[in-house]
């Protein structure tokens, strides 16, 4: 049976690259990050929205599940899509909006 080891503190670590305390203090003083402007003064640059949406994003935008959108695409009844690679299917937001507009009902007949 193993004896429990007494907790004496951290084990000493070998210093492989010289005096580590001098290196860390020197790197703190000459670090380029220390000389940059604080985050509050920087201008935030917004990333442009993606040009094409993947299937999950397109389905969420249409209010459908991914599997329903997949089935509609296979049956040729869904919105236009782009095959960016052999397997990757993408949707243009303009095509999604056009598909929604084409399916919009113009008149209602006898509904309560």
Long-range contacts of 97-104 (CB under 8 A, 24+ apart): 99/62, 100/62
- Which carries the bigger pLDDT value, residue 68 or residue 27? 68
| 25 backbone dihedrals φ, ψ, rounded to 5° | -70, -40
Query: Confidence class of residue 44 from pLDDT cuts 50, 70 and 90?
Result: confident
pLDDT digits over 50-74, tens only? 689 999 999 999 999 999 999 999 9
CA distance 49 to 64: 21
* pTM score of the predicted model: 0.52
Running DSSP on this structure, what letter comes out for residue 82? E
| Spatial contact of 40 and 55, defined as CB atoms under 8 Å apart | no
CA distances from 53 to 14, 24, 44, 49 (A): 52, 46, 24, 10
pLDDT digits over 69-79, tens only? 999 999 999 99
| Overall average pLDDT of the 84-100 stretch | 94
């Amino acid at each position: 049976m193993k004896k429990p080891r007494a907790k004496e503190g951290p084990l000493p670590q070998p210093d492989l690259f010289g005096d580590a305390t001098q290196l860390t203090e020197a790197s703190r003083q000459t670090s380029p990050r220390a000389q940059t402007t604080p985050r509050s003064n920087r201008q935030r640059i917004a990333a442009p929205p993606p040009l094409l949406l993947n299937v999950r994003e397109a389905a969420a935008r249409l209010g459908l599940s991914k599997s329903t959108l997949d089935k509609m695409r296979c049956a040729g009844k869904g919105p236009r899509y782009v095959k960016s690679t052999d397997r990757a299917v993408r949707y243009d937001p303009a095509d999604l909006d056009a598909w929604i507009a084409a399916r919009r009902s113009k008149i209602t007949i006898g509904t309560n």
